[in-house]
Amino acid sequence: TDQSKFGGASGYFDGTGDSVSTPYVTADFDWWVGDYTIEGWIYPVSLANANASNTGTPPVLIGNMNSGDDSNYWSLGPRINGSLRFFYWTGATNGVETAAGDVVTGSWQHIAMTKNSAGIRLFVGGVLKAGPTAVSGTPQSFTGVNLRIAQYNSVSFNVYTDDFRITKGVARYTGDFTPPDAAFPNSSGTGITGAVGTVGVSENVVLTSGPVTGSVGTVVRGVAVTGVYDTSEIGSISHAT
């Protein structure tokens, strides 16, 4: 790809219908159940289609959302005005959002959402930009809607992505921090047991920090189809082409 943060390649979504998804596993992706982190590097080419226009203006970067209709139970990403927004559905729209202009086009920026007992925090470039904001109501998800990147309700985001990671059980950041200066560790490290499924892009599958047991599923173009683990780590893939 033309742009990458680490390793010479990244996931590229050209804004004309590209997306990637994996089945939604509630045990892995229901962020409100315990501490949680979603983070990664993005290089927006354009913010024109960074969010949909329906109620709550949900971002389309990553979330429990359908590509072709308005089913969106939660999503994280920038909006057209350059704010970073975390949207979630409780029977009504809820969300946490940073100031306009925090996310810009034409450069790599690290974004993160963390959740712990104090609430939801949003970070851009390692700087706390919003929160902690208490979770409102009872968030919802739906296994009939995939975990998806870069398209929602027929709106497609033109963006490069690199080194996305979801961590279940740990709010990695609660205050300002220095974003990672290297790619996350490879899956070939120690502490992984059980069956490993098909890896479509094998570079930098993140499964670290202690023994990981059970099955690891298929990894295709930047998203790990995760199994059930006995630690807080959920896999991810970086440097997808």
Q: Integer distance in angstroms from the first to the last C-alpha of the chain? A: 7
Per-residue pLDDT of the chain (241 residues; tens, 9 = 90+): 789 999 999 999 999 988 999 999 999 999 999 999 999 999 999 999 998 888 788 999 999 998 888 889 999 999 999 999 999 999 999 999 999 999 999 999 999 999 999 999 999 999 999 999 999 999 999 999 999 999 888 899 999 999 999 999 999 999 999 999 999 876 433 333 333 333 233 233 333 333 333 333 333 333 333 333 333 333 333 333 3
Closest by CA to 44, choosing from 160, 195, 129, 175, is 160
How far is the C-alpha of 161 from the C-alpha of 46, rounded, in Å?
13
- Written as six digits, the tokens of 29 are 């992706």
Residue 97: phi and psi, rounded to 5, are -145, 145
pTM here?
A: 0.78
Which candidate, 206, 220, 234, 204, places its Cα nearest to that of 4? 204
Contact assessment for residue 131 and residue 119, using Cβ atoms and an 8 Å cutoff: yes
DSSP label at 20? E
Enclosing H/E stretch for 181: none
Written as six digits, the tokens of 89 are: 């559905």
The DSSP secondary structure of 161-182, one letter per residue, reads: EEEEEEEES----SS--PPPSS
Phi/psi for 116 (5° steps) reads -140, -165
Q: How would you label 195-208 residue by residue, b for 16+ Cβ within 10 Å and e otherwise?
A: ebeebebebbbbbb
Please confirm whether the linkage preceding 185 is cis (ω < 30° from 0).
Answer: no
Nearest to 63 by CA among 81, 86, 94, 95: 86
